[in-house]
Structure 1
Amino acid sequence: MNLRQRMVDEIKKNYGLDSPQVLSVMLQIPREKFVAKLKRVFAYRDGPVDIGYGQTISQPYTVAFMTHLLVSDKASLRLRRKGKVISGKIKNWRVLEIGTGSGYQAAILSKLVRQVYTVEIIPQLAEKAKRTLRKLRFNNVFVKSGSGEWGWSEYAPYDAIMVTAGLTEKVPQEIFEQLKVGGVLIAPIGKGYDKVMTRYNKLKNGKTKKREFGIFHFVPFVGEKN
């Protein structure tokens, strides 16, 4: 049994996550390529891995669960192209990720949606993620170095937004404004390292529908306002 298969099996066995499209994609992505060579022995363990600058690549289950929350909210997870059904694609979805980190989460999303725009405040991590994604030919992922608290308005509005660092109180308004009506936003929110995984649905009346999904550990969100 290879390490990727073992990782996916552990996610299903230990956490009961039933998300065939997401787990299938995780089998395709070489997680070890997104960490330093000396850290690759830890790439598939059930925990986060340090990537430098006080940041981590999230634990595999966290990546799987956040991705599942993002895509499972859509009724159809298939895109019909040239008469064939391409499993796992969501038609025309443009997704914004706040907190590129290693680029691994963006790589997972890229297999499920049309385009991924991802913002990283630490320039060295942004450049490294960009190189890794380019080398592995994730050509529908676009990386920007900058503060995620402002989002990436140039390509807004987005069908979905994922925040991959822990917010203290709430999602910045600038980010919410870049979400389409009917769109979904996933973010970990709370004091300290214990964050409540939260999903927001943006409604037509300007309000949001909020649902919480348990406690997860995250490094703090870093922005220009901090």
Structure 2
Amino acid sequence: MSQLNFDQARHNMIEQQIRPWEVLDPRVLEVMALVPREAFVDPAYATLALADVELPIGHGERMMPPRLEGRLLQALDLRPGDRVLEIGTGSGFLTACLAALGGRVTSVEQHADLSEAAAARLAALEIPNVELAVGDAAAGWEAGAPFDAIAVTGSLPLIPDTLRRQLKEGGRLFAVVGSGPVMEGTLVTRTGAGSWSTVSLLDTWLAPLTAPRTSAFVL
């Protein structure tokens, strides 16, 4: 696909996939138009990088479709300097978008080879403000906590209390919650030392994150 075709495909992605899913924040639309999604996929899938599909990235993992990435980014409402935890680095595309919105991103991936590939892509594009780690952050990540925002890139049956408690007051967490076939895109905001608000933003579906190793679950 020529660069011109990629540009047209990117325009179509914004106008036909992301905007119709009620992603209207101009900062989010700009970032998703500028970060080259095709640079974060296997070359064999480059022509599908901007399509409304979940592309495989290895280990049975898949990239979120662009429309869901847009809703996540809009819900977190990042501001420059926000400290962000991303649970599941995957391809690194969402990591790049979080950083481009001004976040200082700690991104944790369970699979070392996926983390290494994402690191190479981010370095090639000179994406700043990103620290990558390998491990299981499904129940939280102490290093760098508390966070202004937490992005969970795989679905959870419920949101663990340990994860909510790693938000700063005013901090936001986006996760897809449920067991299918219909799940909820959920925004949790920490409103006080021991209080949180939870809002269901949309019905969707997302492949599960590895189950958190904790018994303290809340919705």
Determine the structure 2 residue equivalent to 1:11: 17
Residue from 185, 190, 203 that aligns with 1:197: 185
Determine the structure 2 residue equivalent to 1:165: 154
CA displacement at 1:13 relative to structure 2: 5.3
Separation (CA, whole Å) in 2 of partners of 1:211 and 1:53: 31
Q: RMSD across aligned C-alpha pairs, in angstroms?
A: 1.8
* Normalised TM-score (structure 1): 0.86
The alignment status of 1:23 with 2:12, answered yes or no, reads no
Does the 8 A contact of 1:101 with 1:126 survive in 2? yes
* Normalised TM-score (structure 2): 0.88
Moved more, 30-39 or 193-202: 193-202
Determine the structure 2 residue equivalent to 1:221: 209
How big is each residue's C-alpha offset from its partner over 1:198-225, in whole Å with a ceiling of 9 and x where there is no partner? 0011111411101001222211111573
How big is each residue's C-alpha offset from its partner over 1:15-71, in whole Å with a ceiling of 9 and x where there is no partner? 343121101111111101111010111101112111111111111100001100111
Residue from 152, 159, 176 that aligns with 2:141: 152
Separation (CA, whole Å) in 1 of partners of 2:163 and 2:18: 32
CA displacement at 1:134 relative to structure 2: 1.3
Separation (CA, whole Å) in 1 of partners of 2:175 and 2:96: 18
Does the 8 A contact of 1:187 with 1:199 survive in 2? yes
Determine the structure 2 residue equivalent to 1:91: 80
Determine the structure 1 residue equivalent to 2:217: none
Determine the structure 2 residue equivalent to 1:125: 114
Separation (CA, whole Å) in 1 of partners of 2:130 and 2:154: 19
Does the 8 A contact of 1:95 with 1:113 survive in 2? no
Does the 8 A contact of 1:119 with 1:151 survive in 2? no
Structure 1 224/172 Cα, relative in aligned 2: closer, same or farther at 3 Å?
A: closer
Q: Which amino acid aligns with 2:75?
A: L
Q: Which runs of 5+ in 2 are unaligned?
A: 1-6, 215-219
Q: Which amino acid aligns with 2:124?
A: K
How big is each residue's C-alpha offset from its partner over 1:157-202, in whole Å with a ceiling of 9 and x where there is no partner? 111111110101x222322221101111111100135320000111
Does the 8 A contact of 1:11 with 1:17 survive in 2? no
Aligned residues between the structures: 208
Structure 1 193/53 Cα, relative in aligned 2: closer, same or farther at 3 Å?
A: farther
Residue 154 of structure 1: SS of its match in structure 2? Answer: coil
Determine the structure 2 residue equivalent to 1:210: 198
Structure 1 161/13 Cα, relative in aligned 2: closer, same or farther at 3 Å?
A: closer
The alignment status of 1:174 with 2:159, answered yes or no, reads no
Does the 8 A contact of 1:96 with 1:117 survive in 2? yes
Does the 8 A contact of 1:121 with 1:222 survive in 2? no
Separation (CA, whole Å) in 1 of partners of 2:19 and 2:175: 25
Percent pairwise identity: 32
Separation (CA, whole Å) in 1 of partners of 2:44 and 2:105: 28
Structure 1 213/46 Cα, relative in aligned 2: closer, same or farther at 3 Å?
A: same
Residue 130 of structure 1: SS of its match in structure 2? Answer: helix
Structure 1 122/194 Cα, relative in aligned 2: closer, same or farther at 3 Å?
A: farther
